[in-house]
Structure 1
Amino acid sequence: MIHATKGIVLRTVKYGDTSVITTVYTELFGVQSYIVKGVRQSSKTSAGKAVYFQPAAILEMEVYHNELKQLQFVKEFQWAYLYERLLFDVLRNAVAMYVIELLQHSLKQPEANPELFYLIEDTLKQLDKGSDTLVANLPLYFILHLGSELGFQMQGTYHAQTPVLDLQEGIFILEKPAHPYYIAGQLAQIAGQLLSLQFYNDLDHISLNRQIRRELLQAFQTYIALHVADFGEMRSLGVLQEVLS
């Protein structure tokens, strides 16, 4: 059957002489792999179409879907959102590529999760149009909400009785745990502040220096890695930290 769905491109590789295989997080079906035929041809009808399948692209697609097959087919596609700055601005692009790689490592099953799709879509749009401060803080906000959508939301709040954030258990506690996966003091306080935010625009009002942002990003990534089996190593983390510095 043919279905209309939005999709966010996660990865694309060449296939044959003229086609691509693209991995897309779709609104209707979760993570799916598609063959897109002819988009690498040099003909008038195909020239430039491969650009639609670069990572972070947000598309409207008509797709064939058969649950018994691992590879599906795309019938039609067009932009669902056309970026103004994300693809050309170094900071915004670095954050977007980090978000996309984080999803590549975190999404292990194909099941649909519309709320997660909307989180990813909104995050990428905010990266495109938000202020530099919002963009710099957005990876921290996104990781916390990604954990929540994947089923391991952090619990509790930061205060004098719970000044330590246990990353392994995902909860604010009184004393440092026996394992090394925790943050305390100012880092835990800022984590609590980020967890309390309701809107992207609130990120404009959080001022972090380079070292604090670097340590928090590493801590939050550790939190995700502790809860996702076979998470692996993030290659874009170093690039993002360098750009944010």
Structure 2
Amino acid sequence: MTIHHTKGIVLRSVKYGETSVIVTIYTELFGVQSYIVNGVRSSSKKGSGKANMFQPASLLDMQVYHNDLKNLQRIREFSWAFMYQHIFFDVMKNAAALFMVELLQKTLKQPEANPDLYHFIEDAFLHLDEAKGQAIGNFPLFFALHLATMYGFRLNDDFTSETPYLDLQEGEFTKDHPVHPHFLDMPYSYITSQLLKVMQPQELNEIPLNQETRRKLLQAFQAFYVLHVPDFGTLKTLPVLQEVLG
């Protein structure tokens, strides 16, 4: 079986047997894949340290065996692709990262490569790790909006004073009050337009938002995903994130 070198972002890790884990990883080369990793949960310090590398949001460098006919692959070697300075220890950044991971779990379905999407996601976690001030609280909003763009059901940023309603169902700003309940009006529609204009995450520091505004926008963006992603459900990390950002 061929060995491939790929980077990957850990999405989920489940204990398996006495010492193993089954991990779901979004890889640069193969999209979403599941791997069985043996011997990383032994009682020795060596084992437990390795298990930490498979916590959600970890960025790994891997040598993997890949067989298109198998649902469960194996990892030959793994190491940190990047060692976060803050995400695993800072409460706010960790809550934001886990929200981002859950959003990915619910939307990344295909086991196929998409290098642009992979690099966008990797870049987002690296920027979150470095983020300061307002940017930390705004990061989940930025990520949710721009991830949708990568998937192809983006919100069209055509906000003007004449089109103050954001129709989440149609994905566009309109002049008329929508007849359904899935919309945002001022000031939330305007703020969404400002977030859509952000090209570099550090620009998020220039959008000061309070707790109530973030809460309203996060709920609305979840509704947007529910409307556009089949079987999306609800985000379990959302109440935790809102509590921490409060």
* TM class by smaller structure: over 0.9
2:51 is matched with which residue?
50
Matches within 5 A, 1:131-146: 131-146=132-147
2:130 is matched with which residue?
129
Higher mean displacement: 162-171 or 149-158? 149-158
Distance 1:44 1:216, change over 3 A: closer
Residue deviations 1:86-120 (CA, integer Å, cap 9, x gap)? 11111010111111111111112222221221121
2:102 is matched with which residue?
101
TM-score normalised to structure 1 length? 0.97
1:116 is matched with which residue?
117
Write out the 4+ residue segments of structure 1 that deviate beyond 4 Å after TM superposition. none
1:222 is matched with which residue?
223
C-alpha root-mean-square deviation of aligned residues, in Å? Answer: 1.2
1:243 is matched with which residue?
244
Secondary structure in 1 matching 2:64? strand
1:176 is matched with which residue?
177
Alpha-carbon offset, residue 45 of structure 1: 5.1
Alpha-carbon offset, residue 38 of structure 1: 1.1
1:208 is matched with which residue?
209
For structure 2, the 5+ residue unaligned runs are none
Distance 1:44 1:142, change over 3 A: closer
Matches within 5 A, 1:191-202: 191-202=192-203
* Matched residues, number: 245
Q: Does 1:18 align with 2:25?
A: no
Alpha-carbon offset, residue 125 of structure 1: 1.3
Q: Is the 8 Å Cα contact of residues 64 and 73 (structure 1) preserved in structure 2?
A: yes
For structure 1, the 5+ residue unaligned runs are none
Alpha-carbon offset, residue 47 of structure 1: 4.4
TM-score normalised to structure 2 length? 0.96
Alpha-carbon offset, residue 43 of structure 1: 4.5
In 2, the alpha carbon distance for the partners of 1:22 and 1:119 equals: 21
